[in-house]
Chains A and B, each alone.
Chain A
C-alpha cells in the first residue's frame, strides 16, 4: 500500500505551498498553519508507511520506483518524472520529512507574530517539496530540478525579511554562490549524458564500471564536477561563504535549510554518485582533503565568533566537512550516518538557539547572554544534550557517527587525516561548550529590560526540542561499534553501496577491535578535554581567553575576521566582475546598443518629420495634389 503512495510524499508539501502561496495573506493564521504543518506531517506519515513497506522487502529487492510521467523526450534523450525509493533515499526522506515536520511545528510558535505568516509556510513547504524531489529523483535531471528549487527556496527564505538590506544581500549571496556550484553540477550532468547517453541513475550507475576505467580522466572529470556542485550546496571550501550569511533568515529556516536538510544535499549527491568517486581515486582524495580542510577552517572560525547563530553556522560547515571526509575515504555509510545524527542535533541546537533568541527579544550576541539556564530550563536541558551530541560525548548520537568517520579515516585515509579529524573534534567540543557556557552559565550580561521579557518558549517550540533531544540521544544506537549485529544502518544501506564498494578492495589493514577501542577512547578524551578547556576559559577564569587572544594577536585577528576569505573573494572575483559589468553597461550597452537603437529611432523620426510636412491639413491642397495626379494620368492616356 505504502509504496504506491510514494508520490504523495513530495506532492503534499507542494500542495501546501500552492495553497498557502496563492492564499498568502488572506487565509486565517490557523488555517495557514494547519495546511503548512499538516501537509508535511502527512507526508512524514506516508514516508513512514513507505519505509515500512521497504523494510518488508528482502534486502536485495529494496528498490522501488514510481513513474509519474514523461517529462522530456526528444531524440535519444528521455527524462521521466520518476521517484525512486531505496535505502539511501529512504533515510534522506525520513530525515527531511521528520525533522522538517518538527521544525514546521516549532515555526508555529517562533513565527507566531510574523506578518507574512502564510508566505513563510508557503516557502517552507516549497522547500520541503524541493528537497524531497531531490532525494527521491530517479535521474540526474529531476535531481537537478530539486537541487535548483532548493537553492531558490533558500534564497527566498534567507531573504524572507527582505526589507532588511542585510537579509536581501545574504539571500543574493547564497543564490549566486550556489549558482557557481550548480554550474559544476550541470556540467557534470552534461558529461554524464554525453558519456552514457542517459541520465537515469539505474542506467548510468550500472554502465559506469563497465565504461570507465578506474582512475580514468573521464571518471575524475565527472566526479569532480559533481563535487563542485556539492561544495556549493553543502558549503565546503571554496564555496562555503554563503552559509554564515544565511543566518539572516528566520532561525527555524536556519535549522531546516542550513543545518538539517538542504546543506546535506551535497553529501547525499556524493553518496548517490559514489560509483564515480570509487572509479576515481583522485576525486575521492579531493573530497576527503576538501572535507578535512573545511572541518578545520570552519572550526577555528567558530571559536572566535560572537553571534550565536554564526557559531552554529560554522559548526555546520565543519560537520559537513566530516561527512565529506567520511565519503572521501569511501565510507559512504558513515557519511550518511553522520548526516542523519547531525540533522537531529543541529536542528536541536538551532531551534534551541532560536528559543534563546526568542526569549531575549532577538538578541544574538553571545556576550549579551549568560546565566540563562535558570530562565529557560527546558531549552537549557535540550540544548545541553545537543551540545554533548555534537561534541561527541558517549552515549549521544554525535559520538557514534563522528567516531565512525574518524575510525574510517584512520583505516583508509591514514594517521594524518585522523589527526586532523581529532583536532577538529577538539575544536568542536571547545567552541560548542564555549557557546553553551556563554549562553547558559555565568552571570547575565543582558539589560534589565531584556531580562524583564525573558520567558520560556511555548509548547509548540519546546516539544520539538524535546523530541529532537531524544533523537539526538538515541540516534547513535543505529550504529554501535564492535557489537555484533549493532550496525543496523550499515546493513540497511549495504545494498546501495555493496556493488560499488566491490570495485575497490577495502583497506582492512590495522582493523582490529583493540585499535578501534583505542581510537574511540582518544576521541572521547579529546572531546572531554575540549569541554574542560571551555569550562576553564569561560566559567572559572573568564580572563584567560582575552589574555590568550592578546598573546597571539595576529592569529586571533586572522581567525576572527574569518581568514579574510570574504574580502579576498570580493577583491579577486566580485569586484573584477562588478567592474567589468559596469564597463559593459556604460561603454557597451549604453553607448553601442542603446546608441544603435536610439539612432535608428531618431533617423525614423527625422524621416517622418519630413513626410509629415506633406500633411498640411488643408483639404484643398489635397485636392490640388489629386488634380496633379489626374493631370498625369490623363496626360498619359492622351499621349499614349
Chain B
C-alpha cells in the first residue's frame, strides 16, 4: 500500500519542481528545483526496481551535472532576465505546440495502454533485476561496443569543452 502513496508523492513533487524550473526567474532557483526533479525521479526509479540507476541519478545528475550548472550560473552571474520569456510572436506558438505534443502523448499513452495487454506485475522479475552486478554484466557483454563508443564521446566532450573554454574568441 506504500507504493501508490510514494508514487503520488514523487510524481507531484517532480511536476511541481519541473514547473518551477521552467518558470522561475532566478537561475540558481531553477537549478535547485531541477535537483528536486532529479531526486523525485530517483525515488521513482527505486519504485521501479532500478536501484543502480537511482543511485547514479543522484551521484551523477544531481551531484555532478547540477553542480556544473550551478558553477556556470554563478560564473556568469547573469542578472535576472528582465522579461522572463522571449519576446516575439513565436512564444505563443511555443506554448501551443508544446500543448499539442502533450495531447498527442496523452492520446498514445491512454489509447495504447490496453494493447500492452499484460498487467505490469504479470512478468516475474528475474533475480538481481536492477542490481549493479546485473547491470555491469549486461553492460560489459551485450552493450560492450556502445559502452566503448560512449567513452570516446565523453573524451571528445572533455576536449571540446577545454578548447572552447580556453580559446579567446577575438
Contact = CB atoms under 8 A, between A and B. Distances in A.
Contacts of B97: 624, 627-628, 631
Contacts of A638: 104, 107-108, 111
B104 A635 contact: yes
A634 B104 contact: yes
Nearest to A621: B90
A631 B90 contact: no
A630 interface: yes
A631 B104 contact: yes
Interface residues of B, number: 14
A620 interface: yes
Contacts of A628: 97
B101 interface: yes
A627 B104 CA distance: 12
Interface string A601-640: 0000000000000000010110010011011001101100
A627 B105 CA distance: 13
Nearest to A631: B100
Interface in B21-68: none
Interface in B95-126: 97-98, 100-101, 104-105, 107-108, 111
A628 B98 CA distance: 9
A631 B103 CA distance: 10
A624 B90 CA distance: 8
A524 to B, nearest CB: 94
Given A627-B97, A631-B97, A620 B90 contact: yes
> Looking at chain A, what size class is its interface with the partner chain?
10 to 19
Nearest to A627: B97
Given A620-B86, A638-B107, A638-B108, A631 B94 contact: no
A291 to B, nearest CB: 80
A634 B94 contact: no
A634 B90 contact: no
Contacts of B90: 618, 620-621, 624
Contact of A627 (B88, B101, B108): B101
A620 B97 CA distance: 13
B169 interface: no
A634 B94 CA distance: 17
A631 B104 CA distance: 8
A634 B105 contact: yes
A620 to B, nearest CB: 6
A620 B91 CA distance: 9
Interface in B110-165: 111
A104 to B, nearest CB: 63
A524 B94 CA distance: 113
Nearest to A623: B94
Contacts of B98: 627
A638 B106 CA distance: 10
A260 B94 CA distance: 91
Contacts of A634: 101, 104-105, 108
Contacts of B100: 631
Contact of A620 (B94, B101, B108, B111): B94
Contacts of B105: 634
A629 to B, nearest CB: 10
B101 A631 contact: yes
A567 B93 CA distance: 81
Nearest to B100: A631
Contacts of A635: 104
Contacts of A631: 97, 100-101, 104
B53 to A, nearest CB: 26
Most chain A CB within 10 A, of B100, B107, B111, is at B100
Contacts of A618: 88, 90
Interface in A159-187: none
A621 to B, nearest CB: 6
A627 B96 CA distance: 10
Nearest to A630: B101
Contacts of B104: 631, 634-635, 638
A133 to B, nearest CB: 62
A624 B93 contact: yes
Nearest to A616: B90
Contacts of B111: 638
Nearest to A626: B97
A281 B107 CA distance: 104
Interface in B58-94: 86, 88, 90, 93-94
A580 B93 CA distance: 64
A637 to B, nearest CB: 8
Contacts of B94: 620, 624, 627
A345 B82 CA distance: 102
B115 to A, nearest CB: 13
B48 to A, nearest CB: 24
A621 B98 CA distance: 14
A601 B122 CA distance: 67
Contacts of A624: 90, 93-94, 97
Interface string A232-271: 0000000000000000000000000000000000000000
A617 to B, nearest CB: 12
Contacts of A627: 94, 97-98, 101
A637 B101 CA distance: 12
A570 B78 CA distance: 83
A628 B100 CA distance: 9
Contacts of A620: 86, 90, 94
Interface of B: 86, 88, 90, 93-94, 97-98, 100-101, 104-105, 107-108, 111
23 contacts: A618-B88, A618-B90, A620-B86, A620-B90, A620-B94, A624-B90, A624-B93, A624-B94, A624-B97, A627-B94, A627-B97, A627-B98, A628-B97, A630-B101, A631-B97, A631-B100, A634-B104, A634-B108, A637-B108, A638-B104, A638-B107, A638-B108, A638-B111
Given A630-B101, A631-B101, 5 more contacts: A620-B90, A627-B101, A631-B97, A634-B105, A637-B108
The 8 A-B residue pairs with the shortest CB-CB distance, nearest first, are A627-B97, A634-B104, A638-B108, A631-B100, A624-B90, A638-B107, A638-B104, A635-B104
